[in-house]
Chains A and B, each alone.
Chain A
Amino acid sequence: MPFMEFVNFYLMPGIVLGSIYALGAVGITLVFGILRFAHLAHGDLATLGAFAALGVVTIFGVSPWVALPVAMIVCAIMAIGIDKVFYDYLSERPKIIVVMSSLGIALMLRAVVQVIWGVDTETYTRGIVRPEDYWGIRIRDREIYTIIAMFVIVGVLWAFLQKTKWGKAMRAMSDNPDLALLSGVDNRKITMLTWGIVGILCAASGFFLGINTELKPLMGWTMLLPMFAAAILGGVGRVEGAVIGGLIVGIAEETSVLFIPGEYKAAMAFAILLLILLVRPTGLLKGKVL
């Protein structure tokens, strides 16, 4: 197989898919690192984000790119609200109860999407977009935007965590919660801030999955395992690890069809997850939580 064929048909789609996974995995790793539980409603929150953008597109007839910021705000408010009503209420209980409740939230979110938008497959825009050719690399504009958007969003988040007072407080809360409280950091504010950011990341990952493929009520749920695999692969609690993990899982899924039947593509995430837990449970970059 010529090298360019590998790049165009396996590597580039892998990087695009990996970018979408990375956006979700960063959110998972934040919830894990700061709030200390596995957030199973993550995928369905992404579904909600994708459909919220669709709602804006159909109602106002605007471009999907205009709808993305709206979807981010909707998801951020939704995530903060879910935390206020459910997770915060359970915060004194064992973490496994919060994890199970997030599974319930996942089903509720999916039901809401199905009630409002139905169970059919939808798209943001009609018609086929042909890839452009850039020095032999065939790629669609929306795919370029997906990759760039992922690096920009994660880059902004990274700068926020490294440089700002509240970003540092989030890292402090993830590092040593007791000492953060002793330093006067308000637990409630950090929790709300975290959920706001997680909502934004979820909306982005759902939106980019939707714009590159199609919108289905199950779209987020099927992304949940690859996103968790990416977060664990990168080292739970590590933002940069989640990006690397997401890209690896995405590329592995897309290139796996070279060796195994396409129906088993989805099993790649599971295989990677198993392997990393066996060989290096702390992840590629040493995780802070597991």
Chain B
Amino acid sequence: MTSQAIAEQPMSKNSAQQKYSGKPILTMTGVRGGYGDADILQGVDMQVTEQEIVVIVGPNGAGKSTAMKAIFGLLKVRGGSIVVNGTDIAGWKPNRIVQHGVCYVPQVNNIFREMTIHENLEMGAFLRKGDISESLERVYTLFPDLKERRNALAGNLSGGQRQMVAMGRALMLDPTLLLLDEPTAGLSPKYMEQIFEITRNLRDAGLSILLVEQHAKQALAFADKGYVLAAGSNRHEGTGQELLADREVAEMFLGG
């Protein structure tokens, strides 16, 4: 199926499931909502299946981050459904969603600045009872830089390392779905590549990842699937390679 064919076909839960054979982790259907009384999301459909990276791209104000916040219960969802692991979580509070296996890394303000790296990770596991040393070890293996500086205040770290703390904190609950809101914003190319590599490794280790990304071309290059949002609704959908090859997408959304 070509990307044009997908764009012409009305999206539904079923068509998405037919195309992508993996077990669905997240299925958003006709999600509407926003801050206050205005709907920023005008009916968004999306699906993330097991062990894949899905990238949301689109112009500023398209509702990319808003879609992510809707999943995580940070704004009012007025219509549609958000099904995670078989349960509709639309309208749930964030702390309940966390327990349901979804973790979210906000774009800004995503660390505890006055706490050490180690304490940041411990806070990530706040809802867990019992021993967390295994999860700590796993996160430190993933981010060796953090292990070396585990007793440093997170606020004193470089931008790239802060992003690692933020991701590490979110991984402490062993989520099945990780939401990353522009993890590479403001980072040097070196750190961007590192964050992308970690993202790929996490997928290969079994995690499903939904990623909002300004560096759309780089992200689509390794994404299993991409959605182009514009004005709060779906515009295009396809594998990362399909979207990169699509002329309209390239001209309109990826800067030619």
Contacts and interface: CB of A to CB of B under 8 A. Distances in A.
Interface of A: 165, 168-169, 171-172, 174-176, 178-186, 288
Interface in B24-83: 72
Given A181-B94, A183-B169, A175 B106 contact: no
20 contacts: A165-B122, A168-B123, A171-B119, A172-B115, A172-B126, A175-B115, A178-B106, A179-B123, A182-B72, A182-B94, A182-B104, A182-B106, A183-B123, A183-B169, A184-B94, A184-B126, A184-B127, A185-B95, A185-B123, A186-B95
Contacts of B218: none
Nearest to B124: A183
Interface residues of B, number: 21
Nearest to B110: A179
Interface of B: 72, 94-95, 98-99, 104, 106, 109-115, 119, 122-124, 126-127, 169
User: Chain B CB within 10 Å — which of A165, A179, A180, A288 has the most?
Assistant: A179
Nearest to A288: B114
A171 B154 CA distance: 14
B104 A176 contact: no
Contact of B112 (A165, A172, A181): A172
Contacts of B109: 176, 178-179
Given A179-B109, A182-B106, A184-B127, A168 B99 contact: no
Nearest to B166: A179
A168 B115 contact: yes
A248 B124 CA distance: 38
Given A171-B115, A181-B94, 6 more contacts: A169-B126, A172-B126, A176-B111, A178-B109, A184-B99, A288-B114
A185 B124 CA distance: 10
A171 B112 CA distance: 9
Nearest to B72: A182
A51 B123 CA distance: 40
A183 B94 CA distance: 8
Contacts of A184: 94-95, 98-99, 126-127
A168 B113 contact: no
Given A169-B123, A180-B123, A175 B169 contact: no
Nearest to A238: B114
B122 A168 contact: yes
A169 B126 CA distance: 8
Nearest to B173: A184
A269 to B, nearest CB: 27
A186 to B, nearest CB: 7
Contact of A182 (B98, B99, B114): B98
Contacts of B122: 165, 168
A182 B98 CA distance: 8
A181 B95 contact: yes
B112 A175 contact: yes
Contacts of B95: 181-182, 184-186
A176 B112 contact: yes
B119 A168 contact: yes
A165 B115 CA distance: 13
A266 B126 CA distance: 45
Contacts of B99: 184
Nearest to B129: A165
A2 to B, nearest CB: 45
A169 to B, nearest CB: 6
Given A168-B115, A172-B115, A184-B95, A179 B126 contact: no
Contacts of A175: 112-115
